[in-house]
Each structure stands twice: as C-alpha cells, then as structure tokens.
Chains A and B, each alone.
Chain A
Amino acid sequence: MLDFAVLKPYMPLLLSSVWITLKFTFFSTILGFLGGFVLALITLSKKYVYVKLAEIYISIFRGTPLLVQLMLIYFATPQLTSFTINALQAGVLAFGLNSAAYISEALRGGILSVDKGQWEGAMSLGVPKHKMLLDIILPQAIKNALPSLVNESIMLLKDSSLVSVIGVADTLRWADLIQAKTFRAFEAFIVAATVYYILVMALNAFGRYLERRVRVSD
C-alpha cells in the first residue's frame, strides 16, 4: 500500500528544500540573537522611554500569532512602502523580529542572574562598562540562558515550516507539492516530518555539546 519509491525522482528537490529550511532558520536565528541582545540591553538600561518602547515591542511580538506577523510583513510591506519584499526576506524578517522578543527575555534573565560581584570586580579594576559587559557578563549570561536559547532555536526551526504558506520552497512546501503531483500524501508528509525530526535532534545534540563546553569553568 505504501510506496516510497514514487518519491525517488523528487529527492534532489527535497535536498534543495531542506537547504532552504536550514538557511532560513540560520538567518532568522542570527537576526533574533542580535535583536534580542539589543532589546535585553535596552530593558536593563535605566532610560525610561527606551525601556517602555522595548517592553511594548516585546509585548506585541509575544502577544500576536507568528503567522499573522508573517502575513502582515509579507503582504503589507509592498502596500505601505512600494518595496516588493520576497517571501524569503519577509520570512526572515518576521521570524527574526519575533524571536528577538523571546531571546531578549531569555538573555535578560541570564544577565540578571550573573552575580553582582562580577560587575564590581571588573569596575574596581577600572574596566570600562562596554568591555565588562562583552567579556565578563555576557559569556556568563549566555551560559545561564543556554538551555532556553537552544530551545528557542529549535522552535524557530520547527516554526520555519510556516513560511511554506507564503510560498517559500521549504521542506513542508516540498511535501505539499509532491502530494499534489503523486497523490501520495502519507509518504510525502512523513518524509517531511522525519526530516524536521532529524534536524531538531541534531540541533539538540549541538546544544548539549555547547552546554558541556561552557561548563568547563564550573
């Protein structure tokens, strides 16, 4: 009854689709981390207006569905700016902005959990603030926040399948296409699910490896 052999001609296409999923996740994660870092610093600064703005940003992106944000950015950007954004760009932008909100919360928690003595130790030696943040506080904050940061990357990888809705040729889009062509829904989607599962497990293993690495100072 099951016939995976019919998928064989579409394997090269699957590879390029998986590549797009990976590329997409990678760029969204980078954008998410950069944005999250900046947001975390802003919420920890004592400048009232900026803190409020950052809080509003975080609240909006955590308070609305990712799919809605994605559609808004993809379909509304051309209407508002006359800039035609392609599906991949819209996806990276939406996912990056969204995960920045979550990552900033994780990093903020990580920074707050660094012992106050670490700041004072650096201050008392005359180390300028940006240097101590970068070299002493942030490495320890990332270490504290690592489990939730890995988790966030896994969420991003899985949620990346949402971009198939706006036509990005990713892994899920591949399955959708194949089942339309071959009428083999089960085979197509089970292959897509397996691919995601393998990728998530790989990311998970990488996270474990990082955790072991940063624990050398314990």
Chain B
Amino acid sequence: MIKIENLTKSFGSLEVLKGVNLTIDKGQVVTIIGPSGSGKSTLLRCINLLEQPTGGSIFFKGQDIVHDVVKIEDVRKNACMVFQHFNLFSNMTVMGNMTYAPMVVNKLSRQAAEAKAVELLKRVGLLEKKDVYPSRLSGGQKQRVAIARALAMEPEVLLLDEPTSALDPEMVKEVLDVIKALADTGITMVLVTHEMGFARDVSDVVHFMDEGCLVESGNPRDFFTKPQTERARKFLSTII
C-alpha cells in the first residue's frame, strides 16, 4: 500500500534520511526501531508529509505523493498520526477533539460524528471522560483519546510516533494494550517505538534504522533472537 523509494531528507546540511527503501502492505503492523537520531521519526513524518522529503518517492496506493500534484490534506486524512506529546486540541473537550476533524474534513454530520466518537471512546475505555477538557486527563488517557481521535478519521494507515515515550511508566501499559487490541483488528499501522518487548509481540515486520539508513528488516522473532547485522546486534545488546 505504501512504497518508499530512495527517500532522502536533509535539514540544512544535516542529512537525516540517506536513501530509505521500504514497503508497507495493507493490514501490516510495522515497527521502526533504532537509536535516537537515527531518522525513525523523520521517516514517519514524511509519510504524511509533515516533513517534505528532499528526494526520492513515496507511493501511497500507487500515487507518488512527493512529486505528483496532490492535495496535502488528502494524504494526511488517510495517514493520521499519533504523537509522543498527544497534541489534543486544548480548547476543545474530548468529544470536541473526536468530532472536529471528521466533521470538517470528512463532512460527517454532527450526529454521525458523535455516534462514531462514542463507539471509539468505548473501545479505549474513556467514554465517561467525553465532556472534560484534555488538561483534566492523565498522560495515558490523553494518548488513548489521541488514538481514538485518529481512528475517527478512518485512515488507511495509522502512524504512531513514540506513543509511550512521554508517559509515566505506570501508564505505558494502558496505551500499549489499546494499540495491541488495534493491531489485532487488521488495521495498517506504522509504529516508531522504544518498547522492544512490545515491538516483538505486536509487529509483523521490524525495521531497524541507524544513522539515516534502513539497516535491517525482518520478522520480529528472527530479528530479536538472531540479528543479521553487527549494528543491530550492538543496538540490541545495549538495550536488553
């Protein structure tokens, strides 16, 4: 569904992505891991054009979103992102957060948007919070709302950028549980994470990045037990 070819991205003289090739199939749960500064988040942000790539192509359902003339909003509404710092709209209640984009972008009626929001909030276990503002939620609750908000757009692919990195340890599990349940529904998902145990459990494919390059890819069982490259071995030995 998504095919990334020779993707490069530079910030000034700093080369963050140095020619990444990657394919994501429909229904796949893909995790990207690697040390800090390896370009994982930048790669993810290129997929929905929050960063404009410097070179290369990204084919989203056959269309090159880097070079073809596309409406940037049409790409983003189909590749919604969940952020490390949640980014819930702080001037809106949970319900407002859930219904805003579906109504404005997908032109849903208020009734339809609210019905969908109620269903999704039930799924992440936060229906009773629907009328409170984000400032009243814990970090874990905010992230669960953020995930539900992204799902309300019914995107083709869900992008998660270190969704548990800003959370207190006791809240990590509640968010991971939600993501795990999602993965089992057959949604296409690209996840950047530092939770190795979780990456092993949940993903179909693991990609390991280092210094702007995709170093190794494989199924999680093989990757975590017998990594093929020296760099991956080194990385795994430092974190496990």
Contacts and interface: CB of A to CB of B under 8 A. Distances in A.
A126 interface: yes
Interface stretch (B53-61, B81-89, B183-191): B81-89
A140 interface: yes
Taking residues whose C-beta sits less than 8 angstroms from the other chain, chain B's interface range is 20 to 34
A218 B91 CA distance: 9
Interface stretch (B100-108, B172-180, B207-215, B229-237): B100-108
B83 A126 contact: no
A11 to B, nearest CB: 45
A15 to B, nearest CB: 40
Given A125-B153, A126-B74, A217-B133, A120 B90 contact: no
Interface centre among B86, B89, B134, B146 (most CB of A within 10 A): B89
B101 A117 contact: no
Given A125-B101, A136-B91, 11 more contacts: A115-B90, A117-B83, A118-B89, A118-B90, A124-B87, A124-B150, A126-B73, A126-B78, A126-B101, A217-B134, A218-B133
Contact of A123 (B50, B89, B90, B133): B50
A217 B135 CA distance: 7
B48 interface: yes
A218 B135 contact: yes
Interface of A: 115, 117-118, 120-128, 131, 135-136, 139-140, 143, 216-218
Interface centre among A117, A121, A125, A127 (most CB of B within 10 A): A125
The 6 closest A-B pairs by CB, nearest first: A126-B77, A121-B87, A125-B101, A124-B81, A117-B87, A126-B76
Given A120-B87, A216-B133, A217-B90, A127 B105 contact: yes
Interface of B: 48, 50, 73-78, 80-81, 83, 85-92, 100-101, 104-105, 133-135, 146, 149-150, 153, 159
B189 to A, nearest CB: 15
Interface SS, A side: helix
A158 B195 CA distance: 60
B193 to A, nearest CB: 18
A124 B135 contact: no
A136 B104 contact: no
Interface centre among A115, A121, A136 (most CB of B within 10 A): A121
A55 B125 CA distance: 50
B149 A125 contact: yes
Given A125-B153, A135-B100, A143-B91, A120 B135 contact: no
A122 B89 contact: yes
Contacts of B86: 117, 121
Contacts of A118: 87, 89-90
A199 to B, nearest CB: 30
Nearest to B89: A136
A118 B134 CA distance: 12
